[in-house]
Copies of this chain bind each other. A is one copy, B any other.
């Protein structure tokens, strides 16, 4: 969240990359939908409004770039598309404790904040010697609305 255009320009320059209209527009589109998990096609559609000449290949290349800079994160809900959401670079605090609740019935995805996994991570480090840096948690079940029925 908390996307700042000037900060983004600075990050690009620091990495020896050029500031282009396409890059600004793609990140702006993603940051303007903080509750969505957009696919490349969806981002393409959004971005075309402000920048009709953009090509799908550029969207893919930009997404890849933003992902490498940790400005956005990839998520896979196994629906045939890789999806993206704002990443941890702008807002460090929040990311690590962020899970996804996926309704098996209607497909809705809800984000959920929690830090209960720290205990699990410690236990893993103790028993297996594996040092946990990041995690991805998907919880499948039935959302409130679908349970009513």
Oligomeric state, in copies = 2
Separation of A99 and B101 alpha carbons in the complex (Å): 17
Instruction: Establish whether residues A136 and B138, one from each chain, have CB atoms under 8 Å apart when the complex forms.
Output: yes
Return the contact of A140 from the options B129, B136, B138, B143 (Cβ within 8 A): B136
Query: Which among A29-37, A47-55, A119-127 touches the partner chain?
Result: A119-127
Query: Do residues A110 and B136 form an inter-chain contact, with CB atoms below 8 A?
Result: no
**A24 contacts the other chain (CB 8 A):** no
Within 8 A of B (CB), among A114-149: 114, 116-117, 119-121, 123-124, 128-144, 147
- Per the 8 Å Cβ criterion, residues 92-127 of A in contact with B are 99, 101, 103-104, 110, 112, 114, 116-117, 119-121, 123-124
Decide yes or no: A130 and B141 within 8 Å by CB, A101-B124, A120-B116 being known contacts.
yes
In the complex, are the beta carbons of A78 and B78 less than 8 A apart?
Answer: no
Judge whether A74 is part of the interface by a CB distance below 8 angstroms: yes
Contact yes or no, B121 A139, CB < 8 A:
yes
Task: Provide the residues of chain B in CB contact with A137, threshold 8 Å.
Answer: 135-138
Chain B nearest CB, measured from A75 CB (Å): 10
5 example contacts (A-B, Cβ-Cβ < 8 A) are as follows A76-B76, A101-B130, A101-B132, A112-B124, A112-B128
